[in-house]
Amino acid sequence: MNKISVVISAYNEENNIKDCLDSVRDLAGEIVVVDNSSTDKTSEVAKKLGARVFTQENDPKNIDLQKNFGFSKATGDWILSLDADERLTPDLAKEIKSVISNKSSVIGYWVPRKNIIFGKWIQSDMWWPDYQLKLFRKGKGKFGNNDIHKALILEGASEKLASPLVHYNYVSIHQYLAKLNNYTDIEAESLSSQGYKFNWLDAVRFPVNDFVKTFFLQKGFKDGIHGLVLSMLQAFYMGIVFSKLWEKEGFKE
C-alpha cells in the first residue's frame, strides 16, 4: 500500500499545529514538520504529537522554497504538502486514499481550498476554488524559484480533486498587514531585479485596477463587507509594492 508523508513547514505556529496534525492523522503514514527556527512551542507540540521534526533557519523571503527541505526528509511514496493553517477534511482524506491506490500515470493532484478569512468562507473568484498543487509523488515535485505563492513544479501529469481543503487564512487585519509587509518586500524586489523603474502612473493604475478586478470582475461584492474590505486591502497591497519601488529609487520626484 502506498505510504503518504504529510510535510508541514511552520514558523511560530503553536496555536495552529495541533489542529493541522490532528486532521491528517488517519491519512498520514508519517508526518514531517519543518520548524523554521520558531521562537514559540511549535517544535515541542509537534514532537509530542508524533511528528518527525527538523529545524532549519527561517528565511521569510523564500517561504515556499524552504519546503523543499521537508520534501527531502519524507520517506513516503506520496507527499501531501500543507501549511499549519490548513486542515484536511474526512471527504478529502477519503478521496486522496482512493486516487493514490489507482494505477495511474497521474503524479500530482490539485486540491481546491476553502479560504476562511476574518471568520468567513470567501467564495468570490479570487479566493474560490483556489486550486493548489498539494499532493504529488515523492521526488516528482519541488519549488523552483523564490517568487511568493508559486505552484510546485511537477514532473508529469496532474489532475484536480473535488473535495476541498480548509484554509484558515487571515484571522485579523493585524495578521494581514504583518504578512503584507513581507510579501510586498519580495514583490518589489522581484520587480526591481527585472529592471522595472517606478512610474507614478502605474502606482495609481495598478491599485485601482486591482480593486476593480477583485470587487467587480471577480465578484468580490458577493461576499458583502468582507469582499469590500478584501478588495480595498488588495488595492492597498499594490500601493505598498509601488511605494517600496519608489523608496528603492531614493524617493525621486
Instruction: Give Cα 86 distance to the centre of its chain.
Output: 9
pTM: 0.93
Over residues 201-242, the pLDDT tens digits come to 999 999 999 999 999 999 999 999 999 999 999 999 999 999
Residue 24 CA to residue 50 CA, distance in Å, equals: 12
Note the pLDDT of residue 253.
Answer: 85
Q: What is the pLDDT of residue 104?
A: 84
Total count of residues recorded for the chain = 253
CB of 2 within 8 A of CB of 100?
yes
Cβ proximity of 184 and 60 under 8 Å: no
Spatial distance between the Cα atoms of 184 and 24, rounded to a whole number of angstroms = 32
The segments of the chain whose pLDDT lies below 50 read none
pLDDT of residue 60: 83
